[in-house]
Amino acid sequence: MRPGERPEIANLPLFREMQERQRERIFTGSFLQAFPPQLTLFELGQYPDFLHVLVDGLVELHAHSAGRDTTMRIVEPVTSFILAAVVTDQPYLMSARTIAPSRILLVPAALVREVVKDDPALMQATMRELAKAYRDMVRALTDMKLRQSAERLGNLILQQEQRQGGTGKVRLKAEKRVLASLLGMTPENLSRAFGVLGNHGIAVNGAQLTITDRAALEAFVRPDPVPGDPP
Amino acid sequence: MRPGERPEIANLPLFREMQERQRERIFTGSFLQAFPPQLTLFELGQYPDFLHVLVDGLVELHAHSAGRDTTMRIVEPVTSFILAAVVTDQPYLMSARTIAPSRILLVPAALVREVVKDDPALMQATMRELAKAYRDMVRALTDMKLRQSAERLGNLILQQEQRQGGTGKVRLKAEKRVLASLLGMTPENLSRAFGVLGNHGIAVNGAQLTITDRAALEAFVRPDPVPGDPP
DNA sequence: CGAACCCTTGATGGCGATCAAACGCCGTGG
DNA sequence: CCACGGCGTTTGATCGCCATCAAGGGTTCG
- Among chain A residues 177-216, those with CB within 7 Å of any atom of strand D: 177, 187-188, 190-192, 194-195, 204
| pLDDT in the model for residue B134 | 98
pLDDT score of B229 more than 70: no
Q: pLDDT at residue B129 above 60? A: yes
Write phi, then psi, for B179 (nearest 5 degrees): -60, -45
User: A84 and B131: CB-CB below 8 Å?
Assistant: yes
Q: How confident is the model at residue A230 (pLDDT cuts 50, 70, 90)?
A: low
Q: Please state, for a pLDDT cut of 90, what percent of chain A lies above it.
A: 91
Q: What is the CATH number of the domain that holds A164?
A: 1.10.10.10
How much is the average pLDDT of B34-56?
97
Averaged confidence pLDDT in chain B: 95
* B168: containing domain: 148-221
Mean pLDDT of A181-194: 98
Alpha-carbon gap: B121 to the closest alpha carbon of chain A (Å): 10
pLDDT of B3 reads 66
The reply to whether B170 and B87 lie within a common domain is no
Of A144, A169, A200, which marks where a domain is finished? A144
Residue A227 covered by a domain: no
Residue A88's pLDDT is 97
Same-domain check for residues B139 and B155: no
Identify whether B230 is part of a domain.
no
| Residue of B64, B134, B145 lying closest to A134 (CB–CB) | B134
B66-69's contacts with Cβ under 8 Å and 24+ in sequence apart are B66/A146, B66/A222, B68/A146, B69/B181
B86 and B153 together in one domain: no
Last residue of a domain, one of B144, B164, B194: B144
Task: Give the closest-approach CA distance of B3 to chain A in angstroms.
Answer: 33
- Spatial separation of the C-alpha atoms in residues B100 and A10, rounded to whole Å: 49
> Which of B125, B144, B163 is the last residue in one of the domains?
B144
B224: nearest CA in chain A?
A65
Say what the pLDDT of residue A3 is: 66
* Together in a domain, A136 and A157: no
CB of B186 nearer than 7 A to strand D:
yes
Say yes or no: A30 and A89 in one domain.
Answer: yes
- Give residue B66's pLDDT: 87
pLDDT band at B33 (very low <50, low <70, confident <90, very high): very high
Return the number of other C-beta atoms located less than 10 Å from residue A72's C-beta.
20
Query: What is the Cα–Cα distance from B25 to A71, expressed in whole angstroms?
Result: 44
Cβ neighbours of A149 (radius 10 Å):
18
Q: Do B70 and A145 touch (CB under 8 A)?
A: yes
**A6 has pLDDT over 90:** no
pLDDT higher than threshold 90 for residue B225: no
Q: Residue A150 above 90 pLDDT?
A: yes
Is B187's CB less than 7 Å from nucleic acid strand C? yes
Check CB contact under 8 Å for B134 and A137: yes
Average pLDDT over residues A83-98: 97
pLDDT-derived band at A216 (thresholds 50, 70, 90) equals: very high
What does the pLDDT read at residue A223?
86
- Interface residue of A86, A146, A181 to substitute, partner B, most B CBs within 10 Å: A146
Q: Name which of B11, B46, B47 is nearest B27 in CA terms.
A: B11
Please spell the DSSP secondary structure of chain B, one letter per residue: --TTHHHHHHTSHHHHTS-HHHHHHHHHH-EEEEE-TT-EEE-TTSPP-EEEEEEES-EEEEEEETTEEEEEEEE-SSEEE-HHHHHHT---SSEEEESS-EEEEEEEHHHHHHHHHH-HHHHHHHHHHHHHHHHHHHHHHHHHHHS-HHHHHHHHHHHHHHHTTSSSEEE--S-HHHHHHHTTS-HHHHHHHHHHHTTTTEEEETTEEEES-HHHHHHHH---SSPPPP-
For residue B211, what pLDDT is reported?
97
- Asked if the structure places residue A13 within a domain, the reply is yes
Mean of per-residue pLDDT scores for chain A: 95
Contacts of A230 by beta carbon, 8 Å cutoff, 6+ apart:
none
Flag whether pLDDT at A70 surpasses 90: yes
Nearest residue on chain A to B230, alpha-carbon basis: A90
Check which CATH number belongs to the domain holding A43 and give it.
Answer: 2.60.120.10
CB-based contact B33:B135 (threshold 8 Å): no
Q: What residues in B contact A117, CB-CB < 8 Å?
A: 124
Average confidence (pLDDT) over A125-153: 98
pLDDT computed for residue A118 by the predictor: 95
Banded model confidence at residue A215, pLDDT cuts 50, 70, 90: very high
Q: Report the protein residue whose CA lies nearest the C1' of nucleotide C25.
A: A206
pLDDT reported for residue A211: 97
pLDDT band at A222 (very low <50, low <70, confident <90, very high): confident
Whether residue A44 is found in the same domain as residue A127: yes
Residue B200: the pLDDT is 97
Of the candidates A42, A60, A56, which has an alpha carbon nearest to the alpha carbon of residue A9?
A56
Co-location of A31 and A116 in the same domain: yes
Give the three-state DSSP class for A182.
Answer: helix
Contact list in A for residue B138 (CB cut-off 8 A) is 63, 72, 93-94, 137
Residue A12 in this model has a pLDDT that exceeds 80:
yes
Identify the pLDDT of residue B79. 96
Taking only the tens place, the pLDDT of each residue in B147-186 is 999 999 999 999 999 999 999 999 999 999 999 999 999 9
Position B230 pLDDT exceeds 60: no
Q: Same structural domain for residues B132 and B195? A: no
Asked if residue A230 belongs to a domain, the reply is no
Residue A54, CA distances (Å) to A34, A40, A151, B12, B89 in order: 10, 14, 29, 36, 28
| Same domain (yes/no): A16, A111 | yes
Please give the average per-residue pLDDT across A94-116, as a whole number.
Answer: 97
Chain A residue whose CA is closest to B221: A66
Mean pLDDT of B80-100: 97
Q: Count up the domains in chain B and report the number.
A: 2
- Between CA A108 and CA B65 the distance in angstroms is 42
Which of B72, B134, B226 lies at the smallest CB-CB distance from A44? B226
In chain B, which residues from 199 to 228 place their CB closer than 7 Å to nucleic acid strand C?
204
Predicted confidence band of residue B5 (pLDDT cuts 50, 70, 90): confident
Same domain? For A137 and A153 the reply is no
Residue B226 lies in a domain: no
